[in-house]
Amino acid sequence: MATASVSGNREKELWRRLGEVNDPELDEPITEMGFVERAKMTSDGNVEIDFRLPTYWCSPNFAFLMLDGVRKALDQLSWAPAYRVKLHDHMFAEEVNRGMEAGKTFGDIFAELAEDQDLGALRETFRMKAFKRRQEAVLRGLREHGLTDREIVGMELPAYDVARFEPGEAAKQKPRYRAALLERFPDRRADYPVFVTWEGQRIPAGALGAHLAELRAVRVNMEFNGALCRGLKQTRYKELDVVDGEPTLVDFILDRVPARAAPTA
């Protein structure tokens, strides 16, 4: 019984860690996107991961960033298991899997596959988009909650932490925006405004509407790409159900994607 309990706790920890890895372009967990096809614990406590992307030709840069995130997540598991990660049905799957079996790092494996791009710069671009998408959701939620633009742009971290939303996009993104803010500005004082631009500039109350319009453009682009990925994966593997409330490609084509504000209290 104790062994079964330990195994169950470890499996929960495994999926929790994997759920912390995001698709870098979409800022959505790879587990929710269906990219982790299988995550299995063997009888000796080791871990096997089967990873599958929406298309055969997905950018090796994106594959690298996600697989590197998976590796880091597995390295953080409390029982330090040996693990095997296998990429399926990708144009570089053979090279990736052969390299991993040989004990190479992802950096070594992808050194010649990364399309000569600066992966550090690419990672930073995705961090910026995630920052903006998360911020927009919380800003819209606070507006829907009845706060004035002046109250919102003047909000400091203590007030932000006690703000509450009903379940919805704002509630989901609230802790994620806080994490992104402190990752971007680790020395930020508690009495500084919570809502700033990616460059760290204050947002004047009169400019909040224009700022939100800029953030909306980022969100719509990310949601379109997310709908495209889900559609491609669903068509290719016939295994991914459409999540209730998630926009489809048809929604984008017909321009009927609403702003997903958090419900008011």
- pLDDT at 158 > cutoff 80: yes
pLDDT of residue 175 exceeding 90: yes
Say whether pLDDT at 247 is over 70.
Answer: no
CA distance 155 to 207: 15
Q: Is the pLDDT of residue 103 over 70?
A: yes
pLDDT of residue 116: 55
Paired tokens of 176 = 């994620």
pLDDT value for 35 = 92
The average pLDDT across 172-189 equals 96
- The predicted-structure confidence for 113-145, as pLDDT tens digits, reads as follows 655 556 788 889 999 999 999 999 999 999 999
246 or 221: which carries more pLDDT confidence? 221
**17-52 b/e (C-beta count within 10 Å ≥ 16 → b):** bbeebbbbbbbbebbbbbbbeebebeeeeebebebb
Q: Where are the alpha helices (DSSP H) in the chain?
A: 2-19, 60-75, 93-101, 106-110, 119-144, 149-153, 157-162, 169-184, 208-237, 249-253
- What are the residue boundaries of the structural domains of the chain, listed by start? 2-110, 121-253
> 234: pLDDT confidence band, cut at 50, 70 and 90?
confident
What per-residue confidence (pLDDT) applies to 237? Answer: 66
Mean pLDDT, the chain, integer: 85
The fold of 2-110 is GMP Synthetase; Chain A, domain 3 (3.30.300)
* CA 32 – CA 176 distance, rounded (Å): 16
Instruction: Give per-residue pLDDT as tens, 63-75.
Output: 888 988 998 999 9
Contact 246, 230 (CB under 8 A): yes
